Amino acid sequence: MTTVIHADRLIDGTGAAAIDDAVLVVEGGKIKAVFQGAVPTGGAPDNSECLEFRGCTILPGLIDTHVHLNLPGDGTVLEDAVRETDGVLVATSAWCAGRALKAGITTVRDVGGARTTVFDLRRALALGHGEGARILACGQPITITGGHTWYFGGEADGEDALRRKIRDLAKLGADFIKVMASGGGTVNTMSWLPSYSREELTAMADEAHRLGRKITAHCLCAAATEMVVEAGFDQIEHGGFLVSPDGRQEFVPKTAEKVARARVPVTSTLAVGGFMLKVLREKQKQGPLSPEDQRVLDRWLRMFDDNLSQFRRMRDAGVTWIAGTDAGWRFTAIEGLPLELELMQQGGFSAIEAIAAASGRAAEVLGIGDRLGTLKPGLAADVLVVAGNPLDDIRRLADVRLVMRDGKVRVKRAA
């Protein structure tokens, strides 16, 4: 079956200007053609299914490059979430992947789950046992003994053990390798200090590349960021500048310049702060905050402002950003990509740039741009139609009218 989709405009995900009065032709699970105004003679079979979406916009299915499908995103403390059995974690992951697809997020990159839980879900979806977003998975994030997310099963220390760990993950089917290069939200870890030595980081980058995998690193301090760049990592998650346990940050221009010169992309994850502040402000509306809640709010206000400032300054330095939400973490919803893109706009992106950061640019950085991410002929027909014009109000991305994954309609609502 050939499907012809007509809408007021089309944004192809490459960063190019929108096409008005656009027609998208889908055939055999692939993008066949894009036209303006009407389908020319011979452009589609006479028996094609025609979908009309007046007042709407066609886009590529969105890509969230940083999610944790094991985590519900409902404020559950990480240490409590991981006490659940692997069966519960797989079920939670399936629930999240399904919600992502319904929100028009057709691909997610899971950057850390317990043991084989995300691999198991990826396999079940490939077998057709359920519906959800396409999953790229690293499996267990590699971390020092007692390091950030150690309870996922990824602890390894020393060059030999780290190489062995990467080989184990490749054997399990890891699409890429994720390393916790600093501490993070796990109790008793130090997010303001590097976790691994330069020699260990270099060994991991070498082993991942030898096995044909990209490698990315969670970095919340400047020293860790510089070390992973020097080690030859392909990407950085967060790119923070923490210097103390209380969340204080100090931007380091030379670190940003080093990342930019090396052309190492960074994943944004601004939505974590956005969702935290939303929850705390809702609580504030119900009555005066307790002294502890007020301290938490003040801390997150400072951190959020710091993160947005650093985003702008790294962008100004020439750093490439792609969109990822850290979905599942704290109160970060799996459907939260529109908020992430809204915050990227506050950090200086245009709407068309922000959309590319969650579609074509993201696919390019992840190494899947030859398969999906843009509405180019021959690529997978991952398609999103939303009401209105997200170039005028990017929050429109949350008003979903149609979702296709590989040419199959997964969501369809009236225009």
Q: How far apart are the first and last CA of the chain?
A: 22
Structural domain harbouring 80: 62-366
Query: What predicted TM-score, i.e. pTM, was given to this entire model?
Result: 0.98
In this structure, are 191 and 273 located in the same domain? yes
In the predicted structure, residue 163 carries a pLDDT above the cut 90 = yes
pLDDT category of residue 42 using cuts at 50, 70 and 90: confident
CATH of residue 400's domain is 2.30.40.10
Residue-wise pLDDT tens digits, 258-269: 999 999 999 999
In this structure, are 71 and 54 located in the same domain? no
CATH of residue 284's domain is 3.20.20.140
In this structure, are 217 and 102 located in the same domain? yes
In the predicted structure, residue 50 carries a pLDDT above the cut 90 = yes
pLDDT category of residue 414 using cuts at 50, 70 and 90: confident
Q: In percent, how much of the chain has pLDDT > 90?
A: 97
In this structure, are 21 and 153 located in the same domain? no
In this structure, are 195 and 265 located in the same domain? yes
In this structure, are 272 and 360 located in the same domain? yes
Q: Report the alpha-carbon angle 410-133-51, nearest 5.
A: 25
In this structure, are 276 and 377 located in the same domain? no
In this structure, are 392 and 356 located in the same domain? no
pLDDT category of residue 41 using cuts at 50, 70 and 90: confident
Average pLDDT over residues 350-361: 98
What phi, psi does 241 have (nearest 5°)?
-135, 40
Average pLDDT over residues 249-265: 98
Predicted local distance difference test score (pLDDT) of residue 298: 95
In this structure, are 43 and 124 located in the same domain? no
Structurally, how many domains does the chain consist of?
2
In this structure, are 69 and 126 located in the same domain? yes
Q: What is the 3-state secondary structure (H, E, C) of 215-241?
A: EEEEECCHHHHHHHHHHCCCEEEECCC
Closest-CA residue to 60 (of 16, 96, 90, 21): 16
Average pLDDT over residues 346-366: 98
Residue-wise pLDDT tens digits, 277-328: 999 999 999 999 999 999 999 999 999 999 999 999 999 999 999 999 999 9
Predicted local distance difference test score (pLDDT) of residue 94: 98
Structure tokens at 394: 């990017």
Mean pLDDT across the chain, nearest whole number?
Answer: 97
Residues with Cβ within 8 Å of 51's Cβ and at least 6 positions away in sequence, in order, are 3, 4, 5, 6, 402, 412
Helix (H, G, I), strand (E, B) or coil at 103: coil
Predicted local distance difference test score (pLDDT) of residue 246: 87
In the predicted structure, residue 1 carries a pLDDT above the cut 90 = no
Residue type at position 196: Y
In the predicted structure, residue 415 carries a pLDDT above the cut 90 = no
In this structure, are 309 and 377 located in the same domain? no
**Domain-ending residue, one of 344, 366, 388:** 366
Average pLDDT over residues 224-249: 96
pLDDT category of residue 366 using cuts at 50, 70 and 90: very high
Instruction: Using the structure block, give the residue that is written with the tokens 């601004």.
Output: 270
pLDDT category of residue 357 using cuts at 50, 70 and 90: very high
Beta strand 62-67 with 49-60 is unpaired
In this structure, are 96 and 238 located in the same domain? yes
Helix (H, G, I), strand (E, B) or coil at 262: helix
Average pLDDT over residues 241-267: 96
